[in-house]
Structure 1
């Protein structure tokens, strides 16, 4: 499975870190981020603020490595306002 991910020109991680990363997932996450760092594109979306990703990753050493590669070489777009799902749901119930 990792070989398929490595071949992708653009990898999208949607709803990242909503659930804490467990011990089995940490090295896989680090491998993926390391492989893509400054070579391939990745989009990460999360409802969790970037400041909370460190705790969600869990292990301080892995969190440092992952976030160092993500945060310092990325463009961050923070969306504010009401959820589009909530807005659409209001329109449906009218």
Structure 2
């Protein structure tokens, strides 16, 4: 956890690809709490925000995490085909 505290910018790439277990929820909550309002976080996820509650798995913890991530975020929403998919089609 010390590594996460030291970083000025933390990138959580493909967050919530799989649902979190209790230990992962606790770790993520601690990381978000420690950084909130002090250091930057970039979050990427293929999962729509509305489905994040299910991926977190505990409504109370989800409220705390999402309140700090989503409600203070600058959002960039990408649309269209996946670049990986397009490259795969071109290489055929």
Q: TM-score range, shorter-chain basis?
A: over 0.9
Runs in 1 of length 4+ with deviation above 6 angstroms?
none
TM-score under structure 2 normalisation?
0.96
1:56-75 equivalences in 2 (<5 Å): 56-75=55-74
Q: Deviations over 1:13-37 (max 9, x none)?
A: 1110010010111111000001111
In 1, the alpha carbon distance for the partners of 2:82 and 2:70 equals 24
Structure 2 regions of 5+ residues with no counterpart? none
TM-score under structure 1 normalisation?
0.94
Report the RMSD for the aligned CA atoms in angstroms.
0.7
> How far did residue 72 of structure 1 move?
1.2
Structure 1 regions of 5+ residues with no counterpart? none
In 2, the alpha carbon distance for the partners of 1:26 and 1:92 equals 40
In 2, the alpha carbon distance for the partners of 1:21 and 1:62 equals 11
Aligned residues: 92
